[in-house]
Structure 1
């Protein structure tokens, strides 16, 4: 991006539609927790624990989804149709395996998964029927994510947004009817919310697939090209996807350990955490959408050989997106009473929720900055450094600190919660320095490789000028 005007234009035309679509997709799964609120804290807490299982599922397939953005966007920038089709095919296979594996476990042994997260039998009994139904939606969700990422990477951002809106409306309407037993329907409680989620997943995937097949684009999905893999392509794909996959898997495990600590707190704390996760999910979905857009733009620029544009866009995004996150969390914090009132929480849980939002006001902005940079690295072809920093910080700082605070020292809940995001500060210092270095630009296309030496020379001269200016200023 050559100037601030072009940056803002991209943010308004590409980033915000993607962010809204991401927000609506996440909202569809969170509507369950919100609408269950009228049934009491126990139902809210149970569905919240089920959502943590969905988060682990998300971590298991997100590595493949993130790798697909790297290839989709760079191949799109280089007008490589075969590369896009091969990427779609191999990612489809990998994500299908994850989706069906999780679906089988949730349908056959939901009590096992729930028992990992909590020792409270009442939550397990409420969550079992919910998980058995939602499990059927998991394979549908991964296919929908893959198609959405392909459409985003090829600059078709409106269709996923519209499909998400339709899916959300279906989810909300069915939840209203089945949770509370309206219009003569049975009162199904948490299981009714699961039916709404499943129906929403079916409608969303169906609409996305129809649009993908019928939309006009210079790059089309062709079955004849999707599974024509050769050794060189598979090696390049796995070399880039494996670090991202490890990142997401280990991150999911780390979050699971943190959630186990939370699941052993008092019932008000668990209910407050379930409500907070909904609010956090809204924020995460929005800045996750911004980061997806950032990845698309950076990947296209690197794939086409415009490394300077990618570098400038990364730096501006790392400042702009955290500011947006801070504003959203601040609004949530100021409106905490009506916001948490949607969940039917008691006084203690409401008090917990308020302080959790104030703690997240700072850490959320820092987390967004880190997330944007890591996603940008991946899109530019660097998949290892972000993984080392994120997983190292999580397992060396956040997980042991939270576990000791909650399971060993048995500190008050808010003290335990304050340790959850402590690794973000360490990551911020490391990733800011790495972003400035520009070493994360590693194109996978021929066009990108040709202009790489020129970009390295530009960075070297730029850094020399900065050092000289600093030296003159100090003297």
Structure 2
């Protein structure tokens, strides 16, 4: 107990070293995750462009699962870190146990969706029988066996809240490596395994997630001394759940909007060809190499900001925000350079046809213009979440991905053509960064100025 009562490193370690210590394991693990995403699609592309299109059309549902799990995790993280900053260990344990309960409920909802609505989801988007068949097989496996992803993220957020992110790097990295190794084995039937095709890619994904879940649970039990998960003592607590979702629900909605945006953009692109959908799917896989480090950085930043807000230390909060923004912009500038200079090489990783190259090269170059603006916006939005202002994040996301991007993309598609659709992305990011900075100034005056 004496060890627990000592000041957590988030309140005393120099900010530069603390942010790197907290974020670097997450950045590395997320880069490994991004590598898995790309490798997964590369193997699927070897089956054929229809298979790649099917997986791309399934992406909004996979994104929605991640939105629910990570959004809930944001709420758990903010409440838990704030409770630890206030030395309220009873509330911290209550937040952890209720977070696990919410993760299980979320899994059950998506499993039911997978059983009853997978085929219907694809039939609403395309009439191509092959794409529908591929997509239904893939999505059913990813949803019915999704307990791994929900509980993995929940357990990793508990570790993150207490500053033990090194274990998250181990669990995520191990799961991703298992996924990468199993992809060719299960897709193409190597080493005596049956040839499963697209279903093999889904199976490799859920096996990797399940291994990560088991490892995360083990590390929480053995290494996370500040939190105790006790099934026998668990009781759903309405107040704690409300507090988790006060921050987490806007985050869920915010990230779910990304799924709606992806679904909408896919529908717009299908006005031109299924190849355009494949290009958009490839873009999402590639941009994860740029965006995942930003998310890892912000995952390290959120508990630092939340902890020091609970401890009423304004200087440490602002130093963390400034450093995070500088690092985010630097990462995004690297991303812009790669997408502008090497689009052909990136697309060739996915066996791109001549038509896919014609659509994809301008698409990657145009969309990448939005990266730097997105880096700042994502950082500011994470600060809102850490300080309990999740509603600000929600407003920014709605404006950026529903109010702006879909109408602009649709109008450009109708009035100009396919190449113009991609300009909707930088236009929406410019609008969102202006709104984010205005809201941050307002929030600073309300919550931070008088600390």
Describe the shift of the 1:233–1:173 C-alpha distance in structure 2 as closer, same or farther (beyond 3 A): closer
Distance of 2:207 and 2:258 partners within structure 1: 29
**Contact kept? 1:380, 1:441, Cα under 8 Å:** no
Match of 1:339?
Answer: 346
- Is 1:195 matched with 2:188? no
Aligned length: 441
Distance of 1:358 and 1:18 partners within structure 2: 28
Q: Which moved more, 1:101-110 or 1:366-375?
A: 101-110
1:81 to 76, 89, 96: 89
2:382 to 371, 375, 382: 375
Match of 2:5?
Answer: none
Match of 2:185?
Answer: 177
Distance of 1:69 and 1:243 partners within structure 2: 14
Match of 2:361?
Answer: 354
Match of 1:55?
Answer: 63
TM-score relative to the length of structure 2: 0.89
Describe the shift of the 1:203–1:314 C-alpha distance in structure 2 as closer, same or farther (beyond 3 A): same
Report the alpha carbon displacement of residue 234 of structure 1 after superposing the two structures with TM.
4.5
2:422 to 393, 417, 420: 417
Match of 1:246?
Answer: 253
Distance of 2:235 and 2:30 partners within structure 1: 28
Describe the shift of the 1:136–1:30 C-alpha distance in structure 2 as closer, same or farther (beyond 3 A): farther
Match of 1:262?
Answer: 269
Distance of 2:260 and 2:445 partners within structure 1: 26
- Is 1:313 matched with 2:320? yes
Residue by residue over 1:399-432, the C-alpha shift from the partner in whole angstroms, topping out at 9 and shown as x without a partner, is 21122333x44x4322112213422211211222
The higher radius of gyration belongs to 1
Distance of 1:372 and 1:224 partners within structure 2: 39
Match of 1:325?
Answer: 332
Describe the shift of the 1:249–1:434 C-alpha distance in structure 2 as closer, same or farther (beyond 3 A): same
Match of 1:470?
Answer: none
Unaligned runs of 5+ in 1: 443-454, 459-475
Match of 1:186?
Answer: 194
What is the DSSP-based 3-state SS (H/G/I as helix, E as strand, rest coil) of the residue aligned with 1:227? coil
**Contact kept? 2:23, 2:301, Cα under 8 Å:** yes
Describe the shift of the 1:130–1:326 C-alpha distance in structure 2 as closer, same or farther (beyond 3 A): same
Report the alpha carbon displacement of residue 53 of structure 1 after superposing the two structures with TM.
2.3
1:123 to 118, 126, 131: 131
Distance of 2:156 and 2:44 partners within structure 1: 28
Q: CA RMSD in A?
A: 2.6
Match of 1:456?
Answer: 449
**Contact kept? 1:296, 1:379, Cα under 8 Å:** yes
Distance of 1:370 and 1:199 partners within structure 2: 34
Report the alpha carbon displacement of residue 379 of structure 1 after superposing the two structures with TM.
0.5
TM-score relative to the length of structure 1: 0.85
1:137 to 129, 132, 145: 145
**Contact kept? 1:179, 1:190, Cα under 8 Å:** yes
Report the alpha carbon displacement of residue 135 of structure 1 after superposing the two structures with TM.
1.8
Match of 1:206?
Answer: 214
Report the alpha carbon displacement of residue 303 of structure 1 after superposing the two structures with TM.
1.6
**Contact kept? 2:187, 2:195, Cα under 8 Å:** yes
Describe the shift of the 1:362–1:242 C-alpha distance in structure 2 as closer, same or farther (beyond 3 A): same
Residue by residue over 1:112-171, the C-alpha shift from the partner in whole angstroms, topping out at 9 and shown as x without a partner, is 122334443331122121122222332220110011111111111111111122212211
